[in-house]
């Protein structure tokens, strides 16, 4: 079973991002945009795991969710992963201490199942690309930056999910396996 841990996005935020994706698709066809149903903020990708391991992952996440309070996320930046010379992923994100803290702790607990690939960074993948020109990419980045200035993409994180990812020829299909609520801490 291919699994990962992630936050869902509220519908009002998804609606704004759908508007942004329509603007981007009007500028270029060279970015394969993430489907609306698959928008999420990943905490940890675990890859293929046997069912018995998934049960243990659920136990660990249940314990870990009790250790963190809800927090706010504001998707206020745009950028690309690999780099600007060889871009592969278009993202919206922010530097978020609460996300990084929680992600590091979850990664520490779950690295026994799959080691972490990189440092945690709070981001939402908008699309993937292979062959996009520099000017076209800069145009999309300017468009997105302008959109983010005009539309506040802020929302609260109160829970996260363990998802199953099933790959098929049309792309990945996600199914929520388990929900984990963050605990309000007193004081």
Query: How many domains in the chain?
Result: 1
* In-domain check, residue 81: yes
> Cα 186 from chain centroid?
28
* In-domain check, residue 140: yes
Q: What is the CATH number of the domain that holds 65?
A: 3.90.1140.10
Contacts of residue 141, Cβ cutoff 8 Å, sequence gap at least 6: 78, 79, 80
User: Which pLDDT belongs to residue 139?
Assistant: 96
Mean pLDDT of 65-69: 94
CA dist., res. 24 & res. 160, Å (int): 28
pTM metric for this prediction: 0.91
* In-domain check, residue 184: no
Closest CA to 82 of 40, 46, 132: 132
What is the domain range of residue 153?
2-175
User: Which pLDDT belongs to residue 84?
Assistant: 87
Write down the mean pLDDT value for the chain. 94
């Amino acid at each position: 079973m291919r699994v990962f841990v992630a936050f869902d996005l509220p519908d009002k935020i998804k609606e704004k991002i759908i508007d942004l994706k329509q603007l981007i698709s009007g500028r270029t066809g060279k970015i394969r945009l993430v489907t609306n149903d698959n928008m999420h903020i990943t905490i940890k990708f675990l890859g293929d795991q046997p069912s018995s391991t998934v049960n243990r992952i659920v136990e660990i996440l249940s314990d870990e969710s009790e250790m963190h309070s809800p927090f706010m996320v504001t998707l206020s930046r745009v950028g690309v992963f690999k780099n600007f010379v060889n871009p592969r992923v278009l993202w919206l994100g922010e530097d978020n201490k609460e996300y990084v803290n929680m992600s590091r702790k979850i990664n520490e607990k779950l690295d026994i199942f799959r080691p972490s690939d990189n440092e945690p960074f709070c981001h939402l993948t908008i699309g993937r690309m292979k062959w996009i020109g520099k000017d076209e990419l800069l145009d999309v980045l300017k468009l997105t930056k302008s959109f983010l200035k005009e539309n506040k993409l802020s929302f609260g994180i109160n829970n996260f999910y363990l998802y199953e990812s099933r790959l098929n020829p049309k792309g990945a299909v996600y199914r929520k396996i388990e929900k984990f609520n963050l605990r309000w801490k007193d004081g």
